[in-house]
C-alpha cells in the first residue's frame, strides 16, 4: 500500500539520452477505469501499434468516454490518434472531442529537417469556425504527450534520478522534467504490481497552463506497464485517477 508520507530521495539529473532497455512494447491494448472524486466516471482504452517495418510509423489510439452519472451530467467522448517515426518522434496528431455541448477537431503536423516545426489547426465543429491556426518551432525530435509516455517506458530511469523529455502538443513545446521517485506496490483490478513512481512536470504552464500534478506508476520490470496515472487538480476540481483494468 502506498504511503503518503514517503520521503523523496535526492534527485540526480540525467541528460535526455539515458540508457534504453530496448524493450519497445509490442502491440498492446490497455483498458483503464477513470475515477473522479472516488466515483467511477469513465473508461479509457489505449491501443499501441509499434513500428515493424523500417518506413512504417508507430501509432497510438486513445478513446476516452464518460459513464454513469457523470455521463448524464456532462458527456465526454474523445478520440486521440498519434503517428510517430523512429525514436517516438511525433509526426501527426489528430483529436476529436465531444465534451458537453462542445465539439472540436484538432490536427497537428510535425516536420523535421531544414526547419523543425509543428503546424496546429483547431476547429469548432458546432460553429464551423477556426479556433486556432498557428506554427511553432520544435526540437529535431519531439514527442506528443502519449508518445513521451512510450519513450519513457524504454528508458532505464532508476529511482533518485531525473530526465528532461522534449514534448509538444502543437501549441507549445518544452523540455518536460520527469522524476523517478520510489519503488511502490500498486493494486488494481488487473492485479498487484511492483512499480516505480514518477512525477511528470507537464502542468503549471510547462505544456499545459492548468495548475496540477501528474504522477504515474510503471511496473518495475521490462514491460513498464502504466498501471496507474493520477492528475491532482485544485481542490475545487478534485483528483482524476486512471487505473489499469486489463491489458492485451
Residue with cell 501499434: 49
Q: Would the pLDDT of 84 be above 70?
A: yes
pLDDT single digits (tens) 107-125 = 999 999 989 999 999 999 9
Which of 20-24, 44-48, 74-78, 85-89 has the highest average model confidence (pLDDT)?
44-48
Q: How far apart are CA 197 and CA 152, in angstroms?
A: 12
Across the range 7-34, mean pLDDT stands at 59
Residue 77: predicted pLDDT: 93
**Average per-residue pLDDT in the chain?**
88
SS (H, E, C) 170-201: CCCEEEEEEEEEEEEEEEECCEEEEEEEEEEE
Residue 23: predicted pLDDT: 65
164 alpha-carbon distance from chain centroid: 15
Of 28-42, 49-63, 175-189, 207-221, the poorest mean pLDDT is in 49-63
Q: How far is CA 61 from CA 29, 91, 141, 147, in A?
A: 9, 14, 20, 11
pLDDT single digits (tens) 87-97 = 899 999 999 99
Q: How far is CA 122 from CA 12, 109, 145, 224, in A?
A: 39, 12, 17, 33
Map out the domains of the chain as residue ranges. Answer: 12-247
Amino acid at each position: 500500500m502506498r504511503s503518503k508520507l514517503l520521503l523523496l530521495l535526492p534527485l540526480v539529473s540525467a541528460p535526455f539520452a539515458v540508457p534504453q532497455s530496448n524493450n519497445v512494447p509490442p502491440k498492446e491494448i490497455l483498458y483503464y477505469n477513470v475515477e473522479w472524486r472516488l466515483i467511477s466516471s469513465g473508461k479509457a482504452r489505449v491501443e499501441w501499434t509499434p513500428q515493424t517495418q523500417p518506413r512504417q510509423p508507430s501509432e497510438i489510439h486513445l478513446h476516452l468516454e464518460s459513464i454513469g452519472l457523470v455521463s448524464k451530467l456532462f458527456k465526454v467522448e474523445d478520440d486521440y490518434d498519434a503517428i510517430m517515426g523512429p525514436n517516438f518522434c511525433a509526426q501527426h496528431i489528430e483529436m476529436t472531442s465531444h465534451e458537453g455541448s462542445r465539439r472540436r477537431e484538432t490536427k497537428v503536423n510535425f516536420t523535421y529537417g531544414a526547419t523543425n516545426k509543428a503546424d496546429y489547426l483547431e476547429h469548432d465543429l458546432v460553429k464551423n469556425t477556426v479556433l486556432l491556426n498557428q506554427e511553432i518551432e520544435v526540437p529535431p525530435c519531439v514527442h506528443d504527450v502519449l508518445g513521451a509516455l512510450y519513450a519513457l517506458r524504454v528508458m532505464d530511469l532508476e529511482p533518485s534520478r531525473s530526465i528532461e523529455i522534449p514534448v509538444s502538443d502543437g501549441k507549445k513545446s518544452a523540455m518536460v522534467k520527469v522524476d523517478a521517485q520510489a519503488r511502490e506496490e500498486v493494486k488494481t483490478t488487473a492485479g498487484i504490481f511492483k512499480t516505480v513512481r514518477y512525477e511528470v512536470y507537464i502542468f503549471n504552464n510547462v505544456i499545459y497552463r492548468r495548475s496540477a500534478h501528474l504522477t504515474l506508476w510503471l511496473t518495475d520490470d521490462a514491460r513498464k506497464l502504466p498501471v496507474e496515472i493520477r492528475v491532482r487538480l485544485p481542490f475545487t476540481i478534485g483528483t482524476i485517477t486512471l487505473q489499469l483494468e486489463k491489458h492485451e
